[in-house]
Amino acid sequence: MPYALRHADGRVLSLHRHPEAGAEFLPPDHPEVQAFVGAGSTPQSEFAKLDADVVRVLEDLIDVLIARQVLRITDLPVQAQEKLYARKSFRDRKPAQALRLYGDEDDDGILSTDFSAL
């Protein structure tokens, strides 16, 4: 397992557990087998990464709006406040994973996520 049938252009057409006429044996860890079964990068995993990236951008956008006094944290629903505080707490403990769009946070305070004074 697996036995691969190929398209005329050489791409894997189908995989079979048992020998088929015209099929060649490929080891399960062969890159073409892994690609055919969707191992590694999938559209879903790529989409999840994009979602995570957008969430981080939205967090920083909210921070900018709060810093510029366009928005108050208390304007948001309690559940949203709790989630923002939880993410802020996590990011403060993992600074290497925090998104830095404009350099260091201390440059002009734009990326400050200190909600304690509110």
pLDDT tens-digit profile of 20-62? 899 999 998 888 888 888 766 666 777 777 888 898 899 989 9
32 close to 46: Cβ distance less than 8 angstroms: no
CA distance linking residue 12 with residue 5, whole number of Å: 6
Q: What is the reported pLDDT for 110? A: 46
Q: Taking the C-alpha atoms of 87, 92, 93 and 99 in order, what is their torsion angle to the nearest 10 degrees?
A: 80
Cα 13 off chain centre by: 30
pTM of the model: 0.45
Note the pLDDT of residue 82.
Answer: 92
